[in-house]
């Protein structure tokens, strides 16, 4: 049930339940990080928001040495191939792919107020944040259809699960990559309490931005000095493994509502049987993730393209499902999307079951803090517009007493949560800190080993990262199979 997206988060059966180290610029808080522990990975527990990022994100990628084939014209054909956009295919959108995308209805009256308010605040409405123009506000595409989540496993794995050359093992915990000198020849894993090894001509790691660098380090691929201190034989000295970690942090700017228009009543226990019954026939509030609209804006005139992401919800609620006192409300999720803070993933020992040390260093740079002040200002300015005057019951969070720059930053440090977009910890490139080559995503310094997941991004994209990860997988699948790459598609995109 899409509306029940908070249930798998924090559940030991579906979530790895990571925590960061105490964040030095957030009062020593440990930030919770959910990661999918099921088939489909985090696509099986995420918020189902489908955003490619800005086309200029990929120009930024392509500006790095050796990365020419990752500009938007090379990535667009793969974005299109993987999707069936129910709003319609065109030169920007696909209509025959395995990932079915349903656009948010955004028909709650609060969305009408939101779209009016953003225009009153001086922002534009755009037809499609995944099309010609990302900047502005629109209904969002979601990877759900007829009340069901479309995870990576549902779209790609389940349709081919009967293939004779496919063997899926669940509840198997990979402990290391097995090397013969510098060639990867297999993986060691624990299944039903027994350590086993499977051998293959090529190994592809898809563990994500936390598990992939963890496994590489456990296997002797990483910063040689760090590995030697832990007694791990060095197979390849790659100092970039686990470095360059990027993420999106967000806060909830929440208001109470004076009219009973929010979806809060559906959370009451006596309404849940009705919600469930409607969902069984693919209807009603259970059939949506309720992240049905939002947008992207620039925080100041010096920014070339959007650096703030905004999601609107017709309810005041936290990601874990907890509600503030007061009943009806509404909120904006907002945060910078191109922070220059950088973190790391480092194993603590040779024990694969010990969770790695995660340091994100949120709010650690002057630019990051400046953009946070601008982000909260943008959200507050939208809610202050006349379109919300008939609904506004007052600011719940951060609250009217939070006014000065110092007070706002203190609130962000004490209240912000991750948007669950860790990435870039085994970045592709050709420099000394690169981990995989841009053409094939093969790990530098070894043979027979590739990485295909969010860790290979050089920079996090401007939005939720499920769509870019799937594009990377589609594009690399052609490389692995030896297929000719899809021809590039040069289309006009919005530039300021």
Catalytic residues: 421
Cα separation, 173 vs 185, whole angstroms:
18
Contact in structure between 419 and 51 (CB atoms under 8 Å)? no
- Phi then psi for residue 287, to 5 deg, are -90, 0
Q: Which of 258, 388, 400, 268 is nearest to 323 (CA)?
A: 268
Q: How many CA atoms lie within 13 A of 164 on its CB side?
A: 0
DSSP 8-state code for residue 339? -
Cα separation, 98 vs 101, whole angstroms:
9
- Phi then psi for residue 41, to 5 deg, are 60, -140
Contact in structure between 355 and 367 (CB atoms under 8 Å)? no
Dig out the tokens for 408 from the structure: 């706002």
Largest separation between any pair of C-alpha atoms in the chain:
70
Cα separation, 348 vs 10, whole angstroms:
23
Checking DSSP bridges between strand 221-222 and strand 236-237, what pairing results, if any? parallel
- Phi then psi for residue 296, to 5 deg, are -135, 130
Contact in structure between 60 and 75 (CB atoms under 8 Å)? no
Cα separation, 383 vs 340, whole angstroms:
28
Angstrom distances, CA of residue 409 to CA of 22, 299, 322, 364, 367: 17, 16, 23, 12, 13
Contact in structure between 208 and 35 (CB atoms under 8 Å)? yes
Angstrom distances, CA of residue 327 to CA of 197, 276, 314, 369, 376: 54, 21, 12, 32, 23
As a whole number of Å, the CA-based R_g of the chain is 22
Site of tokens 């129910």: 86
Angstrom distances, CA of residue 130 to CA of 134, 149, 293, 304: 6, 19, 13, 18
Cα separation, 392 vs 250, whole angstroms:
22
CB atoms within 10 A of CB 318: 15
Cα separation, 407 vs 190, whole angstroms:
49
Dig out the tokens for 418 from the structure: 């991750």
Q: Is 379 helix (H, G, I), strand (E, B) or coil?
A: helix
DSSP 8-state code for residue 124? P
């Amino acid at each position: 049930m899409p509306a029940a997206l908070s249930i798998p988060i924090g559940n030991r059966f579906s979530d790895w339940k990571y925590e960061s180290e105490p964040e030095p610029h957030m009062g020593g808080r440990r930030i919770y990080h959910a990661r999918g522990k099921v088939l489909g990975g985090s696509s099986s527990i995420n918020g189902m928001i489908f955003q490619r990022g800005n086309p200029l994100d990929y120009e930024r990628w392509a500006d790095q040495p050796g990365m020419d084939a990752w500009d938007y014209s090379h990535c667009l054909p793969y974005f299109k191939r993987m999707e069936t956009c129910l709003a319609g295919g065109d030169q920007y959108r696909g209509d025959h792919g395995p990932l079915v995308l349903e656009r948010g209805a955004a028909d709650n009256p609060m969305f009408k107020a939101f779209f009016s308010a953003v225009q009153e605040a001086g922002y534009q409405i755009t037809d499609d944040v995944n099309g010609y123009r990302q900047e502005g506000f629109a209904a969002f595409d979601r990877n759900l259809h007829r009340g069901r989540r479309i995870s990576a496993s549902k779209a790609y794995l389940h349709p081919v699960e009967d293939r004779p050359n496919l063997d899926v093992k669940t509840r198997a915990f990979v402990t290391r990559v097995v090397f013969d000198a510098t060639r990867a020849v297999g993986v060691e894993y624990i299944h039903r309490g027994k350590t086993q090894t499977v051998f293959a001509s090529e190994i592809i790691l898809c563990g994500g931005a936390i598990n992939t660098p963890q496994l590489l380090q456990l296997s002797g691929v990483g910063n040689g000095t760090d590995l030697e201190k832990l007694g791990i034989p060095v197979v390849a000295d790659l100092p970039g493994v686990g470095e360059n970690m990027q993420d999106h942090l967000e806060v909830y700017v929440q208001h109470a509502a004076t009219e009973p228009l929010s979806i809060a009543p559906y959370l009451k226990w006596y309404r849940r049987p009705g919600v469930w019954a409607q969902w069984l026939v693919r209807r009603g509030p259970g059939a949506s993730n309720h992240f049905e609209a939002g947008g992207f804006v620039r925080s100041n005139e010096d920014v070339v393209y959007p650096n703030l992401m905004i999601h609107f919800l017709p309810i005041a609620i936290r990601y874990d499902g907890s509600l503030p006192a007061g009943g009806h409300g509404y909120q904006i999720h907002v945060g910078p999307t191109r922070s220059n803070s950088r973190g790391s993933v480092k194993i603590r020992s040779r024990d694969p079951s010990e969770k790695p040390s995660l340091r994100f260093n949120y709010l650690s740079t002057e630019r990051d803090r400046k953009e946070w002040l601008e982000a909260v200002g943008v959200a507050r300015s939208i809610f202050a517009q006349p379109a919300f005057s008939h609904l506004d019951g007052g600011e719940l969070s951060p609250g009217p007493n939070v006014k000065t720059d110092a007070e706002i930053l203190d609130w962000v440090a004490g209240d912000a949560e991750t948007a669950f977009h860790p990435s870039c910890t085994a970045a592709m490139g050709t420099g000394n800190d690169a981990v995989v080559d841009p053409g094939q995503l093969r790990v530098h310094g070894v043979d027979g080993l590739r990485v295909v997941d969010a860790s290979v991004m050089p920079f996090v994209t401007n939005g939720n990262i499920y769509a870019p990860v799937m594009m990377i997988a589609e594009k690399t699948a052609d490389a692995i199979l030896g297929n000719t790459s899809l021809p590039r598609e040069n289309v006009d995109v919005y530039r300021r």
